[in-house]
Structure 1
């Protein structure tokens, strides 16, 4: 496995004849003369969990923001299901079959949990604002359908009991699930998760891992995360960044044993310290 800007060959079973659902090709981003990403490439394949990891300052957040349309790269290409996109804006994600969660949650504090999730489901609405304002019968029917969709997602994530509560009154792990429910309500084919394990206990992280794996029967997942035990457990392939460049790509076992990856990290090993090639952990909060 070489340190290149392009993904290595996919692991057996990870590829699909239909090709990647998302590709970033030769992406470079600079901020005030500082290069955050340099010639970075990656590919998320159908029904795959792709992890993006790296030590402090590696460029993970910038890469995630490029994929979400929050940051426009100086050079490079974003390709969605074989179609090259122009300048991508965050509000276009739903229409492209993409949904995201953010570390900062971004929930609406003055809306109930159910209404927050309905916002995610709203991409399936067809009546529009005027139809809702005029209370057309079709608009009322659509509203019921969206709320049913939102309740089903809350049920799936085990938080239906909080439907009528407001986010500020909820424990942080529950709010994390509400943010995930809002993304899932859009029924994406590609889910982008930014630090989904932050603030979770070990048991909650295990539940999150089970959930992420269960999603792959209906979508692909791109996961930016610094909890190495979660990454190693749930990801099919991992792309490793350091100082804005891809230094490794491969299966969890390949990445764990890669000398370039081990050299990039400082810290204590995660999990079984006696395990051969155990990967050091990123310092808490490392981005």
Structure 2
């Protein structure tokens, strides 16, 4: 059974067709990459998988069950988490508090319990704090737990955003251009981290850094002008004439 399947996805914005009959499947403990030239539809497809965009046709299937009208708020309950290009960290919250936000759905007493200062709420908050610290430590940024995001270098903030997604302990992680703004060495570290994550989850990766994609992905789907033009292993995609033509700006017949 696949972890995530997008089938027959078509998205239109007015007279523009951003995606046309696009499909892909993410297998268990697999990194599935989505690549393509600028304007190919990568971000739109990612937003469909996250529930930010509702497709005009097609459907999203999570572990064999169709998800009707997926919304971002539904992701934790489906065992999914995502990062975004813009990080989305709260500047006036510490790193630790930012990460704890990502795990808040684990707290059984919820927000109301916190307001009422119920005993269960205090235990939940301590458990969330411990989980967040562990994830920050795993990513090598626990020393920044009490700092505020604006005071941190961009690569550190990227790890904090990743920690916020991982703290929910997802089975499926959606990564939107995680390598943007990173140096070559930092990308190598990211690649090692993404591969290590497959021991406990699957990953859907949207990325334009080809070296990273070819290194970490088990399968790759290639988009161009909103359509799938190739799919396969890194070696198969690397040598596909349609992929080469799309990136070189040539016509393919």
Same fold (TM over 0.5): yes
1:107 aligns with 2:89: yes
Residue 46 of structure 1 is matched in structure 2 by 28
Q: What do you get for the CA RMSD once the two structures are aligned?
A: 0.8
Residue 140 of structure 1 is matched in structure 2 by 122
In 1: Cα distance, 2:16 partner to 2:86 partner: 25
- 1:87 to partner: Cα distance: 0.4
More helix by share: 2
Residue 78 of structure 1 is matched in structure 2 by 60
Encode CA deviations 1:186-214: one digit per residue, 9 max, x unaligned: 10000000000000000000000000000
1:64 aligns with 2:46: yes
The counterpart of 1:204, out of the listed 149, 161, 186, is 186
The counterpart of 1:257, out of the listed 239, 246, 250, is 239
- 1:123 to partner: Cα distance: 1.6
Encode CA deviations 1:95-117: one digit per residue, 9 max, x unaligned: 11000000000001110000000
- TM superposition score normalised by structure 1: 0.86
Residue 116 of structure 1 is matched in structure 2 by 98
Residue 147 of structure 2 is matched in structure 1 by 165
Deviating above 6 A after TM superposition, structure 1's stretches of 4 or more consecutive aligned residues are none
In 2: Cα distance, 1:83 partner to 1:148 partner: 33
Structure 1 gaps, min length 5: 1-18, 268-287
Q: How many residues align?
A: 249
In 1: Cα distance, 2:121 partner to 2:14 partner: 48
In 1: Cα distance, 2:121 partner to 2:153 partner: 34
- 1:131 to partner: Cα distance: 1.3
Residue 189 of structure 1 is matched in structure 2 by 171
- 1:129 to partner: Cα distance: 1.7
Alignment partner of 2:38: what SS? coil
- TM superposition score normalised by structure 2: 0.97
In 2: Cα distance, 1:94 partner to 1:141 partner: 21
